[in-house]
Chains A and B, each alone.
Chain A
């Protein structure tokens, strides 16, 4: 068991554990914190996969932005005392069944179509290549994504303004 494989197994165990807390916890705040943990670990996984810019972007955008926003909404809407009922509805068992089937199907397909040889991990910095990609081949999607973000910004500001009497 090499060092990188051991680190990967540790990451995988913590990610799966954190995801289970996210979907099963009774307290919405606790599942939000567990989601923060999962997102930080996924950023670490991106680092393991030699995508260092992505790791930093994931931490900056997801954890530092989206998650803080979610925590705000949770804090503004819910008081700390009403979190004690069950958070899973009646469809839980069929949902578990369906997600189990999906996972099994995906894993079987992966085994069937892939070789399991391990290529060497390259250590080249990827940020410059990513920048060239965004400015070259992916220029139009880049601009479209900025328009989508602008639309989301305007929409969120409009939707969450207070009613004028």
Chain B
């Protein structure tokens, strides 16, 4: 009833016909409507970390039996804005032996891919900006690009600890990318498509149709995906590359001001991206827990994504940090064979069920 897709589509169609009436070609009209959609998405992706930072501080405070920020604004709502303003006005310090171009470029390489990744994700019914046919592969490919930015950030700081932190972070991210991609393969096999909108629509019809409800395979895949995403975004308990007590904040030690703010922003944007992916792939993103109903699909999507983000926050303040060799052996000796076994089990399930 309150579906956003219908008024949005009407708005953009009327915009396109008006532009064609003004003398632009249809291709240019389409391009400008896509440009507007992309700008709105980028603006939303930029504002999501602001809310998440505040949410994390409050939720972690409640978990630790305190209240969190309460001074700035009612219940501390303006705290993130105050932090952002502070970081904006800080001086940008580049260390002496560092490569100046690399210092700035590494921030761009680490932060830019996350905006691209949000393009194929369906935020509800028909609400994907670009419903790509190889959507999920594109999201994984683009999120692997930021690994290079982290390596560059470590290198460009000309600081032995930062280089070490950069190498560890990149090794961890590259290693955990494998179980992450492999744990999604059963979902792709069950849905027979790489298109994220189609995967979300294949889970329509109530909670028993969600891919997490497929016996054993769904739950295993979901757990592996969740753990790998936590490791991929460098959050506790896989926090060693940016550990505040170990490596003096790791690879982003020498970054101050707006650059540090951008790293921070990228991390929270990746957290939301992983939550949105988990929702679309396993929790039927956009579809409710019973067929039909009047709650709009974008509300369901946001609700489920925020639930997963809550899980991410919960993990951070519950588990201790893993040592780096235990981290790597957990990935290569446990998660990777488990996801491969999961693929074989899915193949058996598909043959047993006789699906096309």
Do A and B bind?
A: yes
Residues in A lying within 8 Å of B, measured CB to CB: 3, 27, 29-30, 33, 36, 40, 43, 52-53, 55-57, 59-60, 63-65, 67-68, 71-72, 75-76, 80-81, 125, 127
Given A65-B174, A80-B158, check contact A60 B140 (CB 8 Å): yes
Whether B97 contacts A71 by the Cβ 8 Å rule is no
Listed A/B pairs (11) with beta-carbon separation below 8 Å:
A3-B31, A33-B102, A33-B105, A56-B138, A56-B140, A60-B144, A60-B181, A71-B148, A75-B154, A127-B133, A127-B194
Q: Which of A30, A33, A64, A75 contacts B145 (CB 8 A)?
A: A64
Q: Which of A27, A36, A57, A71 contacts B170 (CB 8 A)?
A: A71
Complex: A76 Cα to B163 Cα, angstroms: 9
Main secondary structure of the interface of A (DSSP, over half): helix
Residue on A with the closest CB to B136?
Answer: A56
Q: Which of B133, B166, B181 contacts A125 (CB 8 A)?
A: B133
Complex: A75 Cα to B164 Cα, angstroms: 9
Whether A80 contacts B144 by the Cβ 8 Å rule is no
**Interface check B219, CB cutoff 8 A:** no
**Interface check B152, CB cutoff 8 A:** yes
Complex: A53 Cα to B220 Cα, angstroms: 27
Whether A81 contacts B97 by the Cβ 8 Å rule is yes
How many residue pairs between the two chains, A and B, have CB atoms under 8 Å in the bound complex? Answer: 86
Q: Which of B144, B151, B177 contacts A75 (CB 8 A)?
A: B151
Task: Tell me which residues across on chain A come within 8 A of B154, comparing CB atoms.
Answer: 75
Whether A30 contacts B102 by the Cβ 8 Å rule is yes
10 smallest A-B Cβ distances: which pairs? A64-B144, A59-B141, A56-B137, A125-B133, A56-B141, A60-B141, A52-B134, A71-B151, A56-B138, A56-B134
**Interface check B155, CB cutoff 8 A:** yes
Q: Which of B31, B105, B137, B170 contacts A72 (CB 8 A)?
A: B170
Q: Which of A3, A27, A53, A76 contacts B99 (CB 8 A)?
A: A27
Whether B148 contacts A29 by the Cβ 8 Å rule is no
Complex: A163 Cα to B148 Cα, angstroms: 30
Task: Tell me which residues across on chain B come within 8 A of A80, comparing CB atoms.
Answer: 97-99, 155, 158
**Interface check B111, CB cutoff 8 A:** no
User: Chain B's nearest CB lies how many Å from the CB of A97?
Assistant: 31
Task: Tell me which residues across on chain B come within 8 A of A52, comparing CB atoms.
Answer: 132-134, 138
Contacts A3-B27, A56-B141, A71-B155 supplied; 20 other A-B pairs, CB < 8 Å = A27-B99, A29-B99, A29-B155, A30-B101, A33-B102, A33-B152, A40-B145, A52-B134, A60-B141, A63-B141, A64-B177, A71-B148, A72-B167, A75-B155, A76-B167, A80-B97, A80-B99, A80-B158, A127-B134, A127-B194
Whether B155 contacts A60 by the Cβ 8 Å rule is no
Given A3-B31, A75-B163, A80-B99, check contact A36 B138 (CB 8 Å): no
Task: Tell me which residues across on chain B come within 8 A of A76, comparing CB atoms.
Answer: 167
Complex: A27 Cα to B142 Cα, angstroms: 26
Complex: A160 Cα to B335 Cα, angstroms: 24
Given A3-B31, A80-B158, A127-B194, check contact A67 B140 (CB 8 Å): no
**Interface check B147, CB cutoff 8 A:** yes
User: Chain A's nearest CB lies how many Å from the CB of B113?
Assistant: 10
Whether A63 contacts B144 by the Cβ 8 Å rule is yes
Whether A67 contacts B102 by the Cβ 8 Å rule is no
Residue on B with the closest CB to A64?
Answer: B144
Task: Tell me which residues across on chain A come within 8 A of B181, comparing CB atoms.
Answer: 60
Complex: A33 Cα to B110 Cα, angstroms: 13
User: Chain B's nearest CB lies how many Å from the CB of A19?
Assistant: 18
Complex: A115 Cα to B147 Cα, angstroms: 43
Residue on B with the closest CB to A65?
Answer: B174
Per the 8 Å Cβ criterion, residues 160-204 of B in contact with A are 163, 166-167, 170-171, 174, 177, 181, 194
Task: Tell me which residues across on chain A come within 8 A of B144, comparing CB atoms.
Answer: 59-60, 63-64
Whether B141 contacts A67 by the Cβ 8 Å rule is no
User: Chain B's nearest CB lies how many Å from the CB of A1?
Assistant: 13
Q: Which of B134, B140, B167, B171 contacts A53 (CB 8 A)?
A: B134
Whether B145 contacts A59 by the Cβ 8 Å rule is yes
User: Chain A's nearest CB lies how many Å from the CB of B244?
Assistant: 23
Q: Which of B31, B98, B101, B147 contacts A68 (CB 8 A)?
A: B147
Task: Tell me which residues across on chain B come within 8 A of A72, comparing CB atoms.
Answer: 151, 167, 170-171
Whether B158 contacts A59 by the Cβ 8 Å rule is no
Whether B167 contacts A75 by the Cβ 8 Å rule is yes
- The 8 A CB mask of B287-331 against A (1 = contact, 0 = none) is 000000000000000000000000000000000000000000000
Q: Which of A29, A56, A125 contacts B102 (CB 8 A)?
A: A29
Q: Which of B98, B141, B152, B167 contacts A64 (CB 8 A)?
A: B141
> Which among A27, A57, A71 has the highest number of chain B CB atoms within 10 Å?
A71
Complex: A134 Cα to B207 Cα, angstroms: 35
Residue on B with the closest CB to A124?
Answer: B133
